[in-house]
Chains A and B, each alone.
Chain A
């Protein structure tokens, strides 16, 4: 919201206070100043100049070469505007001037071979408006050489204030002035109404009826006859322009002026176009189509609060007037609406119609129900002054149930308890008074006040505490560098995640973070996606059901950047609907924390002492096992389930715990890679960390290192290729007594020489006992027993060494 400091000085004396101080104090008391345009500063070099002559640029169709008189000398200036003409008074930026819009400096320059010593300006270049249709043409009586700060009265300071949604009272110049009055403890001057009325009472001419008084608790109206619609005087136009609005005509400008002065939105109807000169406020029984004054047809749903005349709808209450009753050049008699609408009703309509106006913005935040009459009178007074109308006697004021001020108490010790330091009681009271609170009772321990009705946000004692705290200044609250230590049990629910991250970084993985919002197509690859009701795009219409698509997208992006060798991981939440498509309750979906590992490209680059090696399925297994071992679960999640092709993988395996899948991965299938436009082998494993976290592992216990020697034996067999290592390994352990502790596979060999359907597997066996030294004999016996069993069970042939 733009606030003009010149304008605000109509309501408060700010003499002796610098602009910087005002800006700083506003920000530090809750009205954050986002931008300050000090016209005295930014316009200091601009002057009025006179265009003496204009000729076409010899080398450019759209440019002119002008002789410009700056009050002392005549300068040559190249100008691109089509409206430039001799004898015009214009805004001139001499060499060295900084142009506010774009912040660039005017330099002596050559434009297509013609020298130019300055610039003739358009409104947008001065940031006076967005208008770039041509240069500004000034009043012909202005003197060349005069500063525009003086000549055009551009000596204001415009501040942009960000008003939080709880402060509708601050959405006007008087509202901001009220805060300043409390900050600087200076008097707030509210304009007095000086109204000359004619004898004829308004209610004899027009009438107001509220049917829906829930949504419209109050409707005040003024009737003014015989007005002349014309241009506003320059003081009003300047005020309107200073806050970035465009003057229209005297009536519209007055309603806009009051909106920004008091914060009360007004609407002016052409009285003669209101059927039976009647206003009826009611909600729609059924949807209608309605043309607003911007000439747009809008569909309005049932229940929309409307202003109607005797026959039809004439305005969307609190949002925008209708074309059918708007003020025109020929309007003579007008009815000014100054109403209070229920904030949530206005907000609903504004949302449904996607129509937000300066009016709806204020009504949905809450205006002051008790200011409507004053605002109507203020409007009537200005209309009488500026449009020459006759004001009918009295405000028509329908206000069935008066909204009264709330009573609230503030305990001084409560204030101290919340803030942690003492504010002087008198200071507290002074702040509240300056903000418009009326003191009704004061004791040693508390004060009782009436809350002004322009402060719908103030409902409780804590709200009063905030008012006092912010005006007194948060800076004045001490910084207490202490925190009381209660020795309750501390918990860290992210400890496991942090551990997992550290392990994977230690294993050499780089961590990714992918957008959890993905396309339905990707989300449907695995799982049961949950859709957004209001997605930004179809690419981001679902929550991820797994971390796979994010990982593959990142692989693809890296390929595009030329990075082909990747070891990536991500920890993130995934979302799946459970047995339903409609999420009605937390039982209808599961949100799990997953971990994905991705490998692609080379595990080992070719180097002088090592051959090149690509990542493969076994690399994936190594990392999965290493990870499980580091989180001390290798003895719990050691059950693997291998499978052939499924939706995602050409081949894959799962890790199980108590028959529950806690992770799965393998080599990604070509069809899936094609979706992501990836031409390389990708190996991926995804864990469900939420499930892993639930596994109760017994506390780690010390295991004494083996004190007795191990006995190592090797053997190799030729097997039929259809027999897997896993089967043989499992078999060996089922046959062995307790002496065999470990089986390692140390060679796999295939050759025509052993038959094309065969392969040789070579095993290294480790025998030992924790309590004694084994004898060669017992190991030999066991070893031979195994040879016999393997040979007979798999029809395998022992290879001689």
Chain B
């Protein structure tokens, strides 16, 4: 008999755990607990049991009925709460309160991601002024006065001597003036260009400058560092190329292109059908620059690089109008 009870208990447990609706629950109730249910009928059998066993079996039967009823009720509660969300105390479905979620501007978030990569490679982070002198922005970076190289960057002037920096490269000079090699630093910051405001260009943007000067820094290491950066930022399958270019403060100079991630290199509007996207400019620090900061260019070599944050974010997030970065539409800001 006891064995039979255990079996009924096990079967019931199994059935009740599989019940998933009030309908299946009702079937279980009928099967076990109704007037003709298995458990109810067991009590009828009690009459047939010899007196001396009655007490023991009665207790077992009561235990079984209690167990079945409890489990049934708790399952019933569970199923009802799940479907309506109501408990005896509260309505669980009432909404919580809206918490105001802050957000970093996507440009600063992008910058932070870039900074993190370079910081992990042992670069320090330095800053310099946005309102700069001609000396730091041009002269000490080997832009001769009256040289067409100055036309490469449309400049906002305050007067003959002061201007809004057109790149973060002047911070290179400021850092090298303060420190002796080895110098390994990135220098993020805002720069200005006197360019018409439209979907593709804006009068200000942010750059990250990088500089590494030591005794045996080579172009091969420059490539190594930037390839490592690009793979960490854009993904390991990245294809890249280094193309000769010209910056007065580096020699040799290069620009780094990566495969256009929109068309995967087959050519599209964004990459002007070249299959490549330019992501940064770089090169070996020009000896003239070392002369301005009194570094011995025979003893020390170095590399420098610079990249624009807006461009990187435009490409990465598929944004087609740069002006949206400066509109501060809360619906845009909250996306990131």
Binding site for B on A (CB under 8 A): 27-30, 32, 34-35, 164-167, 343-344, 347-348, 364-365, 417-421, 460, 462-463, 465-466, 469-470, 474-475, 477-486, 488, 490-495, 498, 501, 504-517, 530-536, 540, 543, 554, 557-558, 561, 563, 566-568, 572-573, 575, 582-584, 586, 589, 591, 604-605, 607-610
Find the B residue at minimum CB distance from A484: B214
Contact of A483 with B221 in the complex, beta carbons under 8 Å: yes
Within 8 A of A (CB), among B93-115: 94-95, 97-105, 107-108, 112, 115
Q: A494-B115, A589-B131 are in contact. Are A420 and B329 (CB under 8 A)?
A: no
B71 / chain A contacts, CB cutoff of 8 Å: none
Q: Which of A347, A418, A460, A557 has the most chain B CB atoms closer than 10 A to its own CB?
A: A418
13 contacts between A and B (CB under 8 A): A32-B245, A462-B286, A477-B219, A477-B220, A483-B184, A491-B124, A494-B115, A505-B103, A516-B190, A533-B158, A534-B194, A543-B164, A607-B98
State the 4 A-B residue pairs at the shortest beta-carbon distance, nearest first: A420-B218, A420-B220, A30-B244, A164-B246
Contact of B97 with A165 in the complex, beta carbons under 8 Å: no
B108 / chain A contacts, CB cutoff of 8 Å: 501, 511, 513
Q: Which of B130, B144, B328, B329 has the most chain A CB atoms closer than 10 A to its own CB?
A: B328
In-complex Cβ contact of A532 among B156, B202, B287, B328 (8 A): B156
Q: A532-B157, A608-B95 are in contact. Are A470 and B133 (CB under 8 A)?
A: no
**Cα separation A482 to B252 with both chains bound (whole Å):** 20
In-complex Cβ contact of A512 among B99, B105, B146 (8 A): B105
Contact of B125 with A491 in the complex, beta carbons under 8 Å: yes
**Cα separation A339 to B35 with both chains bound (whole Å):** 119
Find the B residue at minimum CB distance from A485: B122
Within 8 A of A (CB), among B243-261: 243-246, 248, 251-254
**Cα separation A27 to B274 with both chains bound (whole Å):** 11
Contact of A511 with B105 in the complex, beta carbons under 8 Å: yes
* A-B residue pair count with CB separations less than 8 angstroms: 255
In-complex Cβ contact of B131 among A469, A477, A543 (8 A): A543
B40 CB → nearest A CB, Å: 46
Instruction: Give per-residue flags for B227-245: 1 if the beta carbon is below 8 A from chain A beta carbons, else 0.
Output: 1100000000000011111
Contact of B97 with A466 in the complex, beta carbons under 8 Å: no
Contact of B159 with A514 in the complex, beta carbons under 8 Å: no
A364 / chain B contacts, CB cutoff of 8 Å: 148
Number of B interface residues, CB 8 Å? 91
Q: What 14 additional pairs, Cβ within 8 angstroms, besides A469-B244, A484-B214, A591-B130?
A: A27-B243, A364-B148, A469-B252, A474-B219, A474-B242, A478-B220, A479-B227, A481-B228, A490-B123, A532-B157, A554-B327, A561-B331, A566-B330, A589-B131
B327 / chain A contacts, CB cutoff of 8 Å: 554, 557
Contact of B119 with A492 in the complex, beta carbons under 8 Å: yes
Q: Does B85 interact with chain A (Cβ within 8 Å)?
A: no
Contact of A463 with B251 in the complex, beta carbons under 8 Å: yes
B260 CB → nearest A CB, Å: 15
B152 / chain A contacts, CB cutoff of 8 Å: 165
Q: A474-B243, A480-B218, A494-B188 are in contact. Are A540 and B203 (CB under 8 A)?
A: yes
**Cα separation A768 to B153 with both chains bound (whole Å):** 66
A510 / chain B contacts, CB cutoff of 8 Å: 102-103, 330, 333-334
Within 8 A of A (CB), among B205-221: 212, 214, 216, 218-221
**Cα separation A512 to B329 with both chains bound (whole Å):** 9
In-complex Cβ contact of A483 among B121, B148, B196, B248 (8 A): B121
A478 / chain B contacts, CB cutoff of 8 Å: 220, 223
B214 / chain A contacts, CB cutoff of 8 Å: 484, 486
**Cα separation A607 to B147 with both chains bound (whole Å):** 65
**Cα separation A491 to B175 with both chains bound (whole Å):** 12
Find the B residue at minimum CB distance from A488: B182
Contact of A531 with B158 in the complex, beta carbons under 8 Å: yes
Q: Does B204 interact with chain A (Cβ within 8 Å)?
A: yes
Contact of B159 with A515 in the complex, beta carbons under 8 Å: no
B302 CB → nearest A CB, Å: 10
Contact of A495 with B125 in the complex, beta carbons under 8 Å: yes
Q: Does B295 interact with chain A (Cβ within 8 Å)?
A: no
**Cα separation A511 to B100 with both chains bound (whole Å):** 13
In-complex Cβ contact of B252 among A465, A486, A563 (8 A): A465
A557 / chain B contacts, CB cutoff of 8 Å: 327-329
Contact of A164 with B245 in the complex, beta carbons under 8 Å: yes
Q: A493-B127, A498-B112 are in contact. Are A563 and B331 (CB under 8 A)?
A: yes
Contact of B119 with A28 in the complex, beta carbons under 8 Å: no
**Cα separation A534 to B123 with both chains bound (whole Å):** 36
**Cα separation A516 to B334 with both chains bound (whole Å):** 22
A477 / chain B contacts, CB cutoff of 8 Å: 219-220, 223, 242
Q: Which of A463, A469, A483, A513 has the most chain B CB atoms closer than 10 A to its own CB?
A: A513
B101 / chain A contacts, CB cutoff of 8 Å: 508
B147 / chain A contacts, CB cutoff of 8 Å: 165, 344, 347
B185 / chain A contacts, CB cutoff of 8 Å: 491
Find the B residue at minimum CB distance from A531: B158
A472 CB → nearest B CB, Å: 11
Find the B residue at minimum CB distance from A32: B243
Q: Does B272 interact with chain A (Cβ within 8 Å)?
A: yes
**Cα separation A514 to B325 with both chains bound (whole Å):** 9
Contact of A420 with B158 in the complex, beta carbons under 8 Å: no
B119 CB → nearest A CB, Å: 7
**Cα separation A466 to B330 with both chains bound (whole Å):** 48
In-complex Cβ contact of B246 among A34, A35, A166, A490 (8 A): A166
B331 / chain A contacts, CB cutoff of 8 Å: 561, 563
Find the B residue at minimum CB distance from A462: B251
B125 / chain A contacts, CB cutoff of 8 Å: 491-495
Contact of B162 with A583 in the complex, beta carbons under 8 Å: yes
B27 / chain A contacts, CB cutoff of 8 Å: none
